[in-house]
Amino acid sequence: MRWCAVFSLHLAPDLDAEAVARMAERAYRPFARLLLRRPALRGGLIIEAGVSERLWRQGHEDVIIALRTLIERGQLEPVDTAAYGAPLPLLPEEEIRRQLARNAAINRTYFGLAYRPAGMVARAYAASPALARAVQDEGYRYLLCDTRALPAHDRATSHLRTPRGLALLGCDRMLAEEIADRTAPRVETLRAAFARAGEDALSILPVERLTEDPARMRRLLTAIERQLLRCGTPSELLAEAQRTGRATETCEPDGGPWLLWHDPGNPVHRMQWRFITHARALVTRDPEGHPRARECLDRALCADFLAAAAPPPLWDRARIERGASLLLESALGALGDEEEQAEARFYALEIGERAATIGSP
């Protein structure tokens, strides 16, 4: 069978330099060395521009150089995403396109012209028709999305296309969980998981979870290498499995990631999105005039700040307030009039009050 692993690198927005250093030492550096030693292990690479910036600026240039080597020799294929982890399907289409362009532009400064992503993915494999339209308009060939966002009866997800022709590659969440499970993997268990995934399997694997136990990682590779798998990049998987197929719309699966970012019954979420709408209106009024305000807004859009208002174990009041602080800095930096600035301060205070009143849900 054909299999594509897409490796994901993500750093929470409020990690300090010491935590980033631990992540680089325990996860990203061993991962890059492992792939350099095993050229047969091919796949995709999701790395937010914000992660690239932090690794480079905080003294972990060797990780970026190793990943760039893997990209240049074709072992890893870049997959685009939002620059700082924004929940793309919940944003207007023009904002989606801007986020994708910004991510690609920043990553090219670190990975060079070899950073030429053919497809994209949103946080938590979220998908929607609006996201698919924006991805198509930006010239990407495929969109990676949760298989639950595709028709349930169609397991051959690489055969599906949007009405406008964009290829939909379904990511098998269950297979990813089996591979990245904390327990020691067994060959029989993985064989059954791959069999359930079908002839063309694709999974997104968080690098941090894969590398948290080096001994388990070695056992995992041994188990995977004993499978009859043809390991390739997303584009290779698409090229080999591609057929005309039929057009289908993407959708948000029931119980999918949107409720973590915008639950209609969550009072903190409601105020966060009112504040985001207000800050966007101020910043986009003169996008070139206040670059610092735009940068603060980009960072404030990170899905982690919204997920922090979800029920435990994700609830994190400090992170909620950090996101509100970035939105306030963006709104004030956009130099609105006194009424607009007062409204921004109200939103920031109200988010803090609601978080304090609710406590840990």
pLDDT of residue 114: 92
pLDDT band at residue 183 under the 50/70/90 scheme: confident
pLDDT of residue 221: 81
pLDDT band at residue 199 under the 50/70/90 scheme: confident
Say yes or no to pLDDT of 7 above 80.
yes
pLDDT of residue 160: 84
Say whether both 141 and 6 belong to one domain: yes
What average pLDDT score do residues 276-294 get? 90
pLDDT of residue 260: 92
Residue 252 lies inside a defined structural domain of this protein: no
Say yes or no to pLDDT of 360 above 70.
no
pLDDT, mean over the chain: 90
- The residue that leads in pLDDT, 164 or 61, is 61
Quickly tell me which residue has 């980009």 as its tokens: 298
If one counts the domains in the chain, the total is 2
Say yes or no to pLDDT of 257 above 70.
yes
Please tell me the number of Cα atoms within 13 Å of 44 on its side-chain side: 33
Instruction: Identify whether the C-beta of residue 143 lies closer than 8 Å to the C-beta of residue 165.
Output: no
Say whether both 237 and 271 belong to one domain: no
pLDDT of residue 198: 82
Output 149-155 pairs: Cβ under 8 A, ≥24 positions apart.
Answer: 149/125, 149/250, 149/251, 149/252, 149/253, 149/256, 150/248, 150/250, 151/248, 154/248, 155/198
d(CA 223, CA 178): 12
What average pLDDT score do residues 272-277 get? 98
**Which of 47-56, 71-80, 156-165, 302-311 has the weakest average pLDDT?**
156-165
Residue 251 lies inside a defined structural domain of this protein: no
Say yes or no to pLDDT of 143 above 90.
yes
Q: Which amino acid is at 344?
A: A
What average pLDDT score do residues 80-93 get? 95
**Which of 241, 272, 306 lies at the terminal end of a domain, its last residue?**
241
What average pLDDT score do residues 91-95 get? 93
Say yes or no to pLDDT of 355 above 90.
yes
Expressed as residue numbers, the domain containing 234 is: 2-241
Say whether both 266 and 233 belong to one domain: no
Q: How far is CA 172 from the centre of its chain?
A: 15
pLDDT band at residue 215 under the 50/70/90 scheme: confident
Closest to 205 (Cα-Cα) out of 16, 15, 34: 34
pLDDT of residue 157: 65
CA distances (Å), origin 79, targets 34, 90, 117, 318, 341: 20, 20, 5, 31, 38
Residue 217 lies inside a defined structural domain of this protein: yes
pTM flag (> 0.75):
yes
pLDDT of residue 152: 60
- The residue that leads in pLDDT, 180 or 315, is 315
pLDDT of residue 244: 58
Say yes or no to pLDDT of 359 above 80.
no
**Which of 188, 207, 241 lies at the terminal end of a domain, its last residue?**
241
- 3-state secondary structure at position 295: helix
pLDDT band at residue 37 under the 50/70/90 scheme: very high
Say whether both 304 and 200 belong to one domain: no
pLDDT of residue 154: 56
What average pLDDT score do residues 65-88 get? 97
d(CA 58, CA 8): 20
pLDDT band at residue 156 under the 50/70/90 scheme: low
Say whether both 216 and 272 belong to one domain: no
Tokens of 62: 């060797």
**Which of 241, 273, 293 lies at the terminal end of a domain, its last residue?**
241
pLDDT of residue 247: 81
Strand partners, 160: 168
Residue 255 lies inside a defined structural domain of this protein: no
Say whether both 277 and 198 belong to one domain: no
- pLDDT tens digit sequence for 95-135: 999 999 999 999 999 999 999 999 999 999 999 888 999 99
Residue 27: how many other CB atoms lie within 10 Å: 19
Say whether both 33 and 172 belong to one domain: yes
Strand partners, 43: 5, 76
Q: Which amino acid is at 351?
A: I
- Which residues, other chains included, contact 277 with Cβ-Cβ below 8 Å and sequence gap of 6+? none
Say yes or no to pLDDT of 188 above 70.
yes
pLDDT band at residue 74 under the 50/70/90 scheme: very high
What is the domain-level CATH number for residue 192?
3.20.110.20
